[in-house]
Structures are given as structure tokens and as C-alpha cells.
Amino acid sequence: MSGGGVDAAGPPEGAVAARSPLHRLAGLPVRCYLTAQRAARALVRGVHHRWRRSLQLRVVTTTLLISALVTAVLGFFLVQQVLTGLLEAKREAALNDHKAGLTTAINMMQDGDQSADQDGQVAEITAELANHSGATGLYEVVILPDIGGLSGYATVDEASVPQRLRDEVGQSLELEKQYVTFTEIIRGDTRQPGLAVGARLSNSYELYYLFPLDHEQQMLDLVQNTVFFVGTALILLLAVIAYVVTRQVVIPVRAAAGSAERLASGDLTERMKVRGEDDLARLAISFNDMAGNLQEKIRELEELSQVQRQFASDVSHELRTPLTTIRMAGDLLYEDRHQLDPTMGRSVELLQSQLERFEELLTDLLEISRHDAGAVTLSLETVDIRDAVLKAVGDAEQIAEKTGIKVVLRLPAEPCVAEFDPRRINRILRNLIVNAIEHSEGRDVIVTAAGDRDAVAVAVRDFGVGLKEGEEHLCFDRFWRADPARARTTGGTGLGLSIAKEDAQLHGGWLQAWGMPGKGSQFRLSLPRRAGAELRGSPLPLAPPEMAIGRARGFSAPMGERTAQTAAGPGEGA
């Protein structure tokens, strides 16, 4: 029947909606557990961080733990010593009282009527001995028969006498020989610790004294409480003392650390305050002397560097005028070189190439001087990085064709727009591509561009001799060459990569190198999309994708860039 079927698709929509709150409630314990777990981890990390950074915390905590351990050990032995003394004194007193009572009981039995009722005589002795205990109840008296058929008398439950003590007394062959053991004194439903002393009173009876240990227990509790409170107060006092003492040392050390940090950050006028004549005062004096000497040396180096920069700038400017005259004469000769004999024509070509190299060197020296003087400015434009790559490849096309090397482009399909100075970025890319062609050993050069939300990047890859370990840090130094004996076809100045790094830093970007001997090298330029934005990662990995990350030799980054690259996350394949 159509009306009696069951929908195989599951419960109706309303039922699912009705169960949803239950599902949410069922997930509450899990969420609470995860929240508590995260809070616990955060607390542990915070304590660990604080423990590692605070000398004062470590000293105070260590003092607290060691003093607590020592106090606990000493307190334990003190309580044990007091307990042993109390029990030993109680035992001696108990034996004496029992001995006196035993003597009294034997005399009463000898002086009594032998024909009288023995049970009545025992009851009388029990009452007499109990009266000697006094109103405070120093002990309880128990007289038990040694053989059956006789009655025992006691002021407490007879079960208060432990069976092992009865066995020892019953097996004794000597009258009046005393035996001692610990027991529980039973009075109805109440029990209290006690000391039992027993001996044979006659051939038929045994005399036991039960001494309560309430007084000793009170004394022991008083000693334990006293030791606990005194030990706690002593531990806290030692912690306070350690805090005060370490504070007197830590505060000057922290002040010295702060002064050192400010000095390291560039504040050469930073000095420490000198108080007193102790070790910390001598440390402050030594620090101030060091800071003064360092300030003087840095000032001398700055003056020397300024003189050097000024000299390079002046020489470059002064050489411009004679170079222009020589260049004009050289151009005239170069244009008429075909009219000269072959030897003169070749000399004119060499003169023209060296003039071009000389002019390039002067241009680079002037650019370096501007960077050193901080006089470089950016002409920012919004440009597609693909256009910059195409222009740089076009500028290097003649060199690539001359050497028979193919430049392979791997550009994204979508625009990668960023704010930068087109002239300077084009100079960086042209320099990287020309260097790759120069060192590619006849193999192809691959130029890759990419972009993400925050940055754009260009990587130039060659398959030449590569870089040795550590050279990725040196290739950006001025006038550095990987192999000085190696012939160059383009006649570089040795300043190209140094200027490129300065231009990249000026944009807030990175210029980094990777290389392996025999595997080639790769240079990566990374720029933020927005001028002035902090660069946190790069869209391209530093090492080529075909190379294992673990085999990479490393990279070279501008000053202060290594930390940023480490924190960049997965986008920073190196």
C-alpha cells in the first residue's frame, strides 16, 4: 500500500533539524577539552619562556625547592628523634609503674587469707592497683588467669591485651619478668593507642598495665605542627632573601643588558650609571670605556668611509670630462675603422670596447657613491613584472645570440603588477640575465616570474659551474668574482650584483642566490606589491624545484633579511 511505505531517504528534514542542537551539545565537551588543552599549552609555554629569560626566577625557585627539601629532611629526622625520645621515656615510666604495682600485688596476695575466695582477692588487688593510677588515669589494670576455670578482672576490655604479649608472659618461667609491646586500649566502641606491660603475678594469674599514649600523641602533634609552620616560614623567608639578594644583582645586569642593546642598535652615546666601587661598578666603568672607544673608532671609520666615498665620487665626476673627449675621438675612429689597415682597425675596436667598459665602470662607481651617500631616490610606477622581464631579456638578446644561448621564459598568464622603479628593476634583471648567460657554459637560461597576493618574484636559473659553498654569501660583494682567472666575454665591472642588491633593498625586497658546484645557480628577486610594505615571503622557491631542498647550499640575503626569510613560512623554499 502506498500509504504504509517507509521513506528510504532517511528521516524527514524536520527531524534532522531537531537533532542538530543535540549534535551541537554533544560536541561541547570536546570543544571545552580542546580549549582547556590549548590554555594549558599556552600556560606551559609562558612558564617555560619566563623560566628561560628570568635569572631571578630560576634562582628564587631553586632556592625555594632546595630549602623545602632540606627542611623536609631535617623535619623528618627531628620528628623521629622526638618520637623515639617520647616512647623511650614512656617505656621506662611504664616499666617502673608496672614494677611497683607488681610488687604491691604480690605483697597483697602473700598477706591475704589463703583460705579466702581467690577471685575476691584478685578483684580487691585490681581495685587497689587501679586506685594508684590516680584521677587522671595514668594506666589501666588487667589481671588475667593463666589457666582456665578462673576469672579475670580488668578496668577495660580484656581484648586490649594483645595475644602475642599474653603468649610471651604465659611461656615465661620467671615470675615478675616484664614484657612490653604496643597495643590498642579498647573501651566499648572507642580505641586509643597504648603501651602494654605484662608479667606473671603468680602461677595462676598475670598482671598487665595498659598505658594510654594520648599525651605523647599530643606532644608529637605539637612538634609536627611546630616543625611544619616553622619550616614553611623558613622556606618563605629564604625565598624572600633570595629574591632580595638576586634583585640586587639582576637589576644592574638588566640595566647593563639594556645599555648593550641600545648600543648595539646604534645609540653610541649610551652609558651605564656607575654606583659604588664594587664588581658591578667596575663592570659599568669597563662598559663605558668600551662604548667610548667603540664610538671613537666608529667615528673614525665613518670619516674614512666618507672620505673614500667622496674620493670615488670626485674621481668619477672628474674622469667624466676627459672620458667624454676620448669617447668622441674614439667614436670618430670607430666609424672610419674600415678605412684603416687591419691592424689599426683591430686596435680601434679594442679601444672602443675598453672605452665602453671604462664608461660603464664610472657609471657604476657613481651609482655606488649615491647609494653610500643615501642620495638615491625611487621613481615608482605601477608596472607588470612580466613587461620588466621581457625588456631585460630584450636588452640581453644580442649577448645571448652571440654566445648561442637560448633564454627560456616561464611567465604567468595573469598580470603581476607591483609598484617599483622600472629603470632600477630593469637594471637588476638585465644584470642577472647577463651574468647567467656569461656563466651558463653554453646551456639554456631559464627566467621564471610569479606573483601572489603580497609579492612578485623573478628567478634566473643557469646550468653552469654553479657556486661553491659559502660563495652565495660573497657574490654580492663589490668587485668579487667566483673565478678571477676565468675569461669574461662581457667585461663586467664587478659592481653589478652589489648595485642590484642595493636597488632591491631600496625597494624593500630581497635579492638572494642559490648554487651548487656543477649544478648551476639561481638568483631570485622578490619585491612587495605595494611600495613600503613589509616583505614576508616570496612566490618562488629559492632553490630550483628539481633540486632537493636538503641539498641546497644555502642563500645570500641582504642584511637583516635572514630572519625575515626564516619566518616567511612555506612560501620560502630555500
- The reported pLDDT for the residue numbered 117 is 61
Name, in order, each residue with C-beta under 8 angstroms of 258's C-beta and a sequence gap of 6 or more: none
Q: Is residue 46 located within the same domain as residue 67? A: yes
- The reported pLDDT for the residue numbered 134 is 57
- The reported pLDDT for the residue numbered 362 is 74
Q: Any idea what the CATH number is for the domain that residue 475 is in?
A: 3.30.565.10
Q: Which of 387, 400, 478 is nearest to 434 (CA)?
A: 400
Angstrom distance (rounded) from CA 210 to CA 500: 102
Q: Is residue 179 located within the same domain as residue 249? A: yes
Q: Is residue 284 located within the same domain as residue 253? A: no
Q: Any idea what the CATH number is for the domain that residue 242 is in?
A: 3.30.450.20
Q: Is 356 part of a structural domain of the chain?
A: no
Name, in order, each residue with C-beta under 8 angstroms of 346's C-beta and a sequence gap of 6 or more: none
Angstrom distance (rounded) from CA 224 to CA 209: 29
Q: Is 7 part of a structural domain of the chain?
A: no
Angstrom distance (rounded) from CA 232 to CA 447: 73
Q: Cα 85 to chain center, whole Å?
A: 52
Q: Is residue 69 located within the same domain as residue 174? A: yes
Angstrom distance (rounded) from CA 139 to CA 414: 104
Q: Is 2 part of a structural domain of the chain?
A: no
By residue count, the chain amounts to 574
Q: Is 14 part of a structural domain of the chain?
A: no
Alpha-carbon distances of 499 from 268, 431, 468, 477, 506, rounded to whole Å: 29, 10, 22, 9, 10
Q: Is residue 312 located within the same domain as residue 427? A: no
Mean pLDDT by runs of 10 across the 574 residues of the chain is 42 46 58 81 82 80 88 90 89 88 83 63 80 68 70 73 86 82 85 88 83 86 90 88 83 81 81 80 85 85 75 71 81 81 83 77 72 72 91 86 88 90 88 88 90 92 85 77 52 72 88 88 91 88 72 38 32 35
- The reported pLDDT for the residue numbered 9 is 42
Query: φ and ψ at 335, to 5 degrees?
Result: -70, -30
Q: Is 195 part of a structural domain of the chain?
A: yes
Q: Is 169 part of a structural domain of the chain?
A: yes
* pTM score: 0.45
Angstrom distance (rounded) from CA 499 to CA 486: 22
Q: Is residue 157 located within the same domain as residue 225? A: yes
Q: Is residue 248 located within the same domain as residue 223? A: yes
Helix (H, G, I), strand (E, B) or coil at 441: coil
End-of-domain residue from the set 267, 296, 331 = 267
- The reported pLDDT for the residue numbered 284 is 84
Cα radius of gyration rounded to whole Å, the chain: 50
Which residue has cell 566499648? 188
Q: Is residue 290 located within the same domain as residue 262? A: no
Per-residue H/E/C for 272-301: CCCCCCCHHHHHHHHHHHHHHHHHHHHHHH
Q: Is 488 part of a structural domain of the chain?
A: no
The angle subtended at Cα 229 by Cα 227 and Cα 235, nearest 5°, is 95
Q: Which of 356, 366, 381 is nearest to 531 (CA)?
A: 381
- The reported pLDDT for the residue numbered 147 is 62
Q: Cα 431 to chain center, whole Å?
A: 43
Q: Is residue 141 located within the same domain as residue 211? A: yes
User: In this predicted model, what pLDDT tens digit does every residue of 151-175 receive, in sequence order?
Assistant: 566 767 888 888 888 888 888 777 7
Angstrom distance (rounded) from CA 1 to CA 548: 69
Residues 264-288: b if buried by 16+ CB within 10 A, e if exposed? eeeeeebbbeeeeeeebeeebeebb
Q: How many folded domains does the chain comprise? A: 3
Angstrom distance (rounded) from CA 83 to CA 220: 7
Q: Is residue 251 located within the same domain as residue 154? A: yes
End-of-domain residue from the set 241, 267, 293 = 267
Domain that holds residue 117: 29-267
Helix (H, G, I), strand (E, B) or coil at 418: strand
CA 530, 532, 533, 534 torsion-angle sign = positive
Q: Is residue 244 located within the same domain as residue 120? A: yes
Angstrom distance (rounded) from CA 496 to CA 357: 13
Q: Is 290 part of a structural domain of the chain?
A: yes
End-of-domain residue from the set 267, 290, 310 = 267
Q: Is residue 453 located within the same domain as residue 515? A: yes
User: In this predicted model, what pLDDT tens digit does every residue of 195-222 receive, in sequence order?
Assistant: 899 888 877 788 888 888 888 888 888 9
Strand 455-462 relative to strand 520-528: parallel, antiparallel, unpaired? Answer: antiparallel
